[in-house]
Structure 1
Amino acid sequence: MNNPVLQNTTITHLKKPQHWLLWLVFTQCIVLFIPTFIWLWQRWTMSVWQNGHGILVAGLVIYLIHAELRKLKALPKESNGWGFFILIPVLLLHMLDTGIHSQLLSGIALILSLPGFSLLFLGVTRTKAILFPLSILLLTLPIPLVFTQSLHLLLRHIATQSVAFLLKLLGIPVFSTGTQLEVEGGSLMVADACSGFATLYAAMTIAILTAYFCSSVKRRILLLVIAAPLAVAVNIVRVLILALLVNGFGLDILATSAHEISGLLTFATALPIIFYLGQEPAVISEQTQSPK
C-alpha cells in the first residue's frame, strides 16, 4: 500500500518539533564551520593581492538573494527533505578536510551546504531562484597557487614585456629579462603579486554576476569577453606607473603606500567599467541626461 508521506518529501507549514530540529542541525553545522568562516575571512582580508574581492562578492550575493526572495514572498512556506541528501556528502567532505587540513575542501563544503539548507528552510521553488547567486560564492574561494602558477607566470611575462615596450615608446631606457625590468632608478621585479591575477579573478567574478542581471545576450557576451583583457590592461598600466615612479624616484618609492594604492586602483578602475558595460543603454542615457 502506498504511503503518501513517503511519496512526498515536501513538508509545507512545518510543525514545531520539525522546525526546531532543522534549526538544531543548522546551528550545529554553523559551529562545525566556524574555523572555515575564520579562514575565509582571513583570506579575504589578508591583502588586496589575495581574494580581496571576496567580501564584495559575498555582499552582492546577499543582496541578490534578498531581492530574489522578495519576489517570491507570496508563496507559502515549505521545506524539502532532499536537502539532507546534499548535507550528508558535504559533511563527509568537511570531515575529510579535518584530516588533511587544506581548509579549501571545508570552504567548498561550506558553500555546497547552502543549497541543502535552502531546500530545508525555503523549499524547491525558492532554492531554484537563488541557486545561481549561491553558486557564485564558489568564486570567492582562494585558488591554490599550484593550480595557477603557470597562469601567474604568463601574466607576469605579459606585464613585463608590455611595460618594456611602452617605456621605450616614451623614450625611457629599459632592459627587460624574464620578469625583471631594469630602469635608471633601479631594478623592478614583476612578482606574483604584480601579475594581475587577483584583478583578473575579481573581474571575471564580477563580470559573471553583472551578466546575470543583463537582459541583453549581447551585453552578457561582451562582459564575459572583455573582463579578462580589461583586467590585464589595467594591471599593465599599474606596472607602468610603478616603473615610471622607480625611474624617477628610485626603489624606495615601492616601500611607500604608492605600491598598495596602485593595487587598489586596479580594482577601482576595472570593476566600475564592468558594472557600466553591464547597464542597459536606456539606463546609461537616463544617467547622462539627468538634470544636475
Structure 2
Amino acid sequence: MARSRSVPSALDLVVVLGAVAVLYAGVVPAMVQDWRIDENYSHGFLVPAVTLYLLWDRRRDLAEAARRARGSWAGLALCLGSLALYVLGRAGAELFLQRSSLVFLLMGAVLWLWGWGVFRKALFPLAFLLFMVPLPYLVYDSVAFPLKLLAARVATETLFWLGVPVFREGNVIHLASQTLEVADACSGIR
C-alpha cells in the first residue's frame, strides 16, 4: 500500500495546473489543430466536454471521496512516468507519446493530490480523455485498412447471395454497370 499525504491546498492545485499549462502549451494547440483538419479526429472536440460531464455526474461521489482524501505518493510516481513519456515523445518527435502523456499526467495528479478514493471515482472519465489523442497514422492505417477489406468482403458476399454479379479487388467492388470503392469512412473507425 502506498504511503499517503495530506489533502492538497489551493497552492498545490495552482502549481500543478500552472506546470501542466506551461509544459503542454505547444502540445494541446497542435492537437486541437489536428482535430480541426483531420475528419478522423474531429470527435476530439467532444471528448473533453464528455469528460467534464462524466466528472460532473459523479460530483457527489467525488466530493465525498475528497472529504476523506489523502493524496498518494503513487500519484507522484505516475506523474514522473508521464513526464518521462513526454520527454521521450519530445526527443523522438512523436506526438502520440507527448499527447497521451498529458492524460496520464492528469491521472497521476489526481492520485497524488487526492489519493485512491478520488482516483477510482475519476478514473473512467480521465481515461476517456485518451480518445481525444489522435493515433499515429501507422497505427490508424494498420487498423483501418483491414477493416475496409472486411467491409468490402461482407458487401461482396451479401451481393453474391442476393444474386447480383459482383467481383472484388481489395477494397474495390466491381458490379456489372459500375465500380464502388470502400472508403476509409466504411472501415468503422469513424
Q: Fold conserved (TM > 0.5)?
A: yes
Task: Give the residue type in structure 2 aligned to 1:12.
Answer: V
1:182 correspondence with 2:174: yes
Distance 1:194 1:145 in 2: 15
1:101 correspondence with 2:96: no
Distance 1:86 1:116 in 2: 5
Q: Counterpart of 1:20?
A: 11
Give 1:131 shift. Answer: 1.3
Distance 1:78 1:162, change over 3 A: closer
Task: Give the residue type in structure 1 aligned to 2:116.
Answer: V
Match of 1:61 among 46, 51, 57: 51
CA RMSD of aligned residues (A): 3.0
1:70 correspondence with 2:70: no
Distance 1:79 1:31 in 2: 27
Match of 1:154 among 140, 146, 150: 146
Aligned pairs, number: 187
Distance 1:13 1:146, change over 3 A: closer
8 Å CA contact retained: 1:175, 1:183? yes
Task: Give the residue type in structure 2 aligned to 1:119.
Answer: L
Task: Work out which of the two has the higher radius of gyration on C-alpha atoms and give 1 or 2.
Answer: 1
Distance 1:57 1:29, change over 3 A: closer
For the residue of structure 2 that corresponds to 1:182, the secondary structure is strand
8 Å CA contact retained: 2:165, 2:176? yes
Deviation >6 Å, runs of 4+: none
Q: Which runs of 5+ in 2 are unaligned?
A: none
Spell out the pairing of 1:1-292 with structure 2 (5 A cutoff): 9-12=4-7, 14=9, 19-48=10-39, 50-74=40-64, 75-76=66-67, 78=69, 80=71, 82=73, 83-168=75-160, 173-183=165-175, 186-191=178-183, 193-199=184-190
Give 1:121 shift. Answer: 4.0
What do the CA deviations read for 1:17-38 (whole angstroms, capped 9, x no partner)?
Answer: xx32541232122121122212
Q: Counterpart of 1:226?
A: none
Distance 1:141 1:13 in 2: 28
Give 1:169 shift. Answer: 5.5
Higher relative contact order (CA 8 A, sep 6+): 2
Distance 1:147 1:37 in 2: 21
Distance 1:167 1:8 in 2: 63
Distance 1:98 1:150 in 2: 24
Identity of aligned residues (%): 25
Give 1:160 shift. Answer: 1.6
Q: Which runs of 5+ in 1 are unaligned?
A: 1-6, 200-292
8 Å CA contact retained: 1:54, 1:141? yes
Distance 1:76 1:157 in 2: 53
Give me the TM-score of the superposition, normalised by structure 2.
Answer: 0.78
Distance 2:59 2:114 in 1: 9
For the residue of structure 2 that corresponds to 1:176, the secondary structure is strand
What do the CA deviations read for 1:214-262 (whole angstroms, capped 9, x no partner)?
Answer: xxxxxxxxxxxxxxxxxxxxxxxxxxxxxxxxxxxxxxxxxxxxxxxxx
For the residue of structure 1 that corresponds to 2:41, the secondary structure is coil
Give me the TM-score of the superposition, normalised by structure 1.
Answer: 0.54
Give 1:86 shift. Answer: 2.0
